């Protein structure tokens, strides 16, 4: 079939929606490839009623714009619907991810271009100052929302997945780096909506698990547990990798620790360790760059600390420092903070202050609000020793202009 003797409009719309071959579109519609060939011929037959809406939904244009001519005597078809399930979300007073609303369709290459920036932000998170990266991530997400209105089919799903990841990154910065739980909750909701548009259950599971941290930090166990049940439900649709399943255990353990259920938390960490020893064979998604065996050990050390198992916590956390890659600057701050807490609880103020100063030195390189929270908590426990020189030296490090302003602003 020559290009001059074909339905160029339908073929162009198919490519723009990310369906590179006629077979891919046929599979998406649940029809034979021969049917798509007939539609892309010079005189395409009018689609059957049950396929008309499917075509317009997948390709983002009405039938006439796709090169079809209504049979004589038949009413013109309705144009592409302009309302979606997002209306229900908006009616509930929540922000909603936009839907395709215009016939100006972007080419399929836009998905790869948008994903490339998302990947760059993912890598920059580990070194760029959060206050600098956050506006860039939010602006990139705004671009993704605009692109969702101009893409269809596989291209739209790819953009939606990258958009969900961008919102997840922004939400993580808001919660872990900036300690803004209120904004983090709203941002993670947007991430979940975008993951739904992408129909990506693992990404949805990751977002839900992150959202469980928010109520857990306020000791709201029921809300945190409900979100973890949802996260595990989505993960079963995955399939999830060994690391992903172990991470879910670690997140739930952290939530249980925050809610005072230490025995349950230790059981979950033990289960995570067993999971890592027996792989599922599935590969972790590329965006899951926040978990490893060393990260699990860090979770364990913190739980042992809270449980009062100080010798075990010290051993675990020291091994984490040895195994942690050089790029783990933020996590290293948290581990130093936990080691400081171990020594403070063990009655070793000088060693506690030494670890706390190491944490502060690391924070001077890469800011991490969670790390600073650890140091402030250690300082509070050192109140009985506040007249000792080691504690006064720690205060000189802790109460610089920037950290003092930050503390008063909270």
Residue-level pLDDT at 264: 96
3-state secondary structure of 115: helix
**What does the alpha-carbon distance between residue 297 and residue 314 come to, in Å, rounded to a whole number?**
11
So what's the pLDDT on residue 80? Answer: 36
Task: List Cβ neighbours of 281 (8 Å cut-off, separation of 6 or more).
Answer: none
Instruction: Check: CB of residue 169 under 8 Å from CB of residue 122.
Output: yes
Q: Could you tell me the pLDDT band of residue 42, with boundaries at 50, 70 and 90?
A: confident
Kindly report the CA angle at 149 between 209 and 39, in degrees rounded to 5?
110
| Rounded average pLDDT over 306-316 | 96
pLDDT digits (tens, 9 = 90+) for 107-121: 989 999 999 999 999
Lookup result for tokens 């602006």 = 139
Label residue 91 by pLDDT band (50, 70, 90).
very low
Q: Which carries the bigger pLDDT value, residue 245 or residue 85?
A: 245
* pLDDT reading at 87 higher than 90: no
Does 28 have pLDDT greater than 70?
yes
Q: What percent of the chain has pLDDT over 70?
A: 88
CA 215 to each of CA 58, 174, 224, 267: distance values in angstroms, whole numbers, following the listed order: 38, 15, 6, 21
Kindly provide the b/e burial profile for residues 370-381, where b requires at least 16 CB atoms within 10 angstroms of the residue's own CB. Answer: ebbbbbeebbee
Q: Which class for 48: exposed (0-12), middle (13-18), buried (19 or more C-beta within 10 A)?
A: exposed
Q: Compute the average pLDDT of residues 236-252.
A: 94
Least confident of 51-55, 191-195, 198-202, 260-264: 51-55
Checking if the pLDDT of 404 tops 80, the result is no
How does residue 384 score in pLDDT terms, banded at 50, 70 and 90?
Answer: very high
What's the confidence (pLDDT) of residue 86?
37
Ranked by mean pLDDT, the top range of 78-92, 317-331, 335-349 is 335-349
pLDDT at 270: 96
Q: Which two structure tokens, joined as six digits, stand for 25?
A: 């579109």
pLDDT at 238: 81
DSSP single-letter state for residue 219? T
pTM of the model: 0.77
Task: Provide the token pair at 271.
Answer: 């289960």
Tell me what the pLDDT averaged over the chain comes to. 87
Locate 354 and state its tokens: 């030494």
* 326-378 residue pLDDT tens: 888 889 999 999 999 999 999 999 999 999 999 999 888 888 888 999 999 99
pLDDT at 260 over 90: yes
- CA–CA separation, 360 vs 64, rounded Å? 65
Which residues have C-beta within 8 Å of that of residue 108, sequence separation ≥ 6?
Answer: 15, 16, 17, 18, 20, 154, 155
Residue 312 has pLDDT above 90, yes or no: yes
How confident is the model over 144-158, as pLDDT tens digits? Answer: 999 998 998 999 999
> Is residue 401 very low, low, confident or very high in pLDDT (cuts 50, 70, 90)?
low
Range with the lowest mean pLDDT among 10-24, 88-102, 346-360, 363-377? Answer: 88-102
Other Cβ atoms within 10 Å of 35 Cβ, number: 17
More confident residue, 86 or 276: 276
Distance between CA atoms of 9 and 55, rounded to whole angstroms? 13
Structure-model confidence comparison of residues 138 and 73, the more confident one: 138
Distance (Å, whole) CA 331 – CA 349: 23
**Which residue matches tokens 């649709």?**
237
Residue 388 above 80 pLDDT? yes
- pLDDT over 60 at 103, yes or no: no
The Cα–Cα gap between 216 and 148 comes to 33
* Number of helical H runs and strand E runs in the chain: 20, 0
User: SS3 sequence, 49-112?
Assistant: HHHHHHHHHHHCCCCCCCCCCCCCCCCCCCCCCCCCCHHHHHHCCCCCCCCCCCCCCCCCHHHH
Among 174, 187, 82, 86, which Cα is nearest to 133's?
174
Q: What is the pLDDT of residue 198?
A: 94
* Whole-angstrom distance, CA of residue 284 vs CA of residue 291: 10
CB 284 within 8 A of CB 243: yes
Q: Burial, 34: exposed, middle or buried (Cβ in 10 Å; 0-12, 13-18, 19+)?
A: exposed
Q: What is the pLDDT of residue 96?
A: 58
Domain residue spans in the chain? 3-59, 304-410
Q: What is the DSSP string of 116-183?
A: HHHHHHHHHTTTS-HHHHHHHHHHHHHHHHHHHTT--HHHHHHHHHHHHHHHHHHHHIIIIIS--HHH
């Amino acid at each position: 079939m020559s290009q001059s003797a074909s339905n160029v409009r339908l073929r162009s719309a198919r490519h723009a929606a990310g369906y590179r071959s006629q077979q891919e579109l046929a599979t998406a519609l649940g029809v034979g490839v021969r049917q798509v060939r007939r539609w892309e011929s010079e005189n395409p037959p009018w689609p059957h009623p049950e396929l008309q809406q499917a075509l317009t939904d997948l390709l983002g244009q009405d039938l006439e714009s796709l090169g079809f001519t209504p049979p004589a005597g038949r009413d013109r078809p309705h144009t592409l619907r302009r309302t979606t399930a997002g209306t229900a979300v908006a009616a509930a007073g929540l922000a909603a991810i936009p839907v395709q609303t215009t016939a100006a369709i972007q080419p399929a290459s836009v998905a790869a271009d948008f994903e490339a920036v998302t990947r760059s932000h993912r890598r920059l998170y580990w070194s760029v100052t959060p206050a600098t990266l956050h506006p860039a991530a939010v602006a990139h997400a705004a671009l993704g929302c605009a692109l969702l209105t101009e893409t269809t089919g596989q291209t739209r799903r790819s953009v939606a997945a990258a958009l969900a990841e961008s919102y997840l990154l922004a939400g993580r910065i808001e919660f872990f780096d900036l300690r803004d739980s209120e904004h983090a909750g709203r941002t993670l909701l947007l991430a979940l909506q975008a993951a739904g548009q992408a129909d990506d259950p693992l990404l949805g599971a990751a977002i839900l698990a992150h959202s469980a941290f928010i109520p857990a930090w306020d000791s709201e166990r029921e809300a945190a547990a409900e979100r973890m049940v949802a996260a595990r439900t989505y993960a079963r649709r995955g399939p999830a990798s060994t690391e992903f399943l172990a991470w879910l255990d670690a997140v739930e353990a952290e939530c249980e620790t925050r809610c005072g259920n230490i025995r349950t938390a230790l059981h979950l960490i033990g289960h995570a360790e067993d999971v890592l020893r027996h792989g599922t064979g599935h590969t972790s998604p590329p965006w899951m760059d926040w978990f490893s065996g060393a990260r699990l050990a860090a979770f364990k050390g913190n739980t042992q600390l809270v449980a009062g198992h100080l010798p075990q916590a010290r051993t675990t956390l020291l091994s984490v420092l040895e195994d942690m890659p050089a790029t783990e600057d933020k996590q290293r701050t948290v581990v130093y903070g936990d080691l400081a807490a171990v020594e403070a609880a063990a009655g070793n103020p000088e060693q506690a202050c030494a670890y706390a100063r190491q944490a502060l030195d690391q924070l001077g390189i890469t800011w991490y609000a969670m790390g600073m929270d650890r140091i402030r908590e250690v300082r509070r426990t050192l109140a009985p020793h506040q007249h000792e020189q080691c504690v006064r030296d720690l205060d000189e490090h802790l109460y610089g202009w920037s950290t003092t302003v930050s503390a008063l602003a909270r």
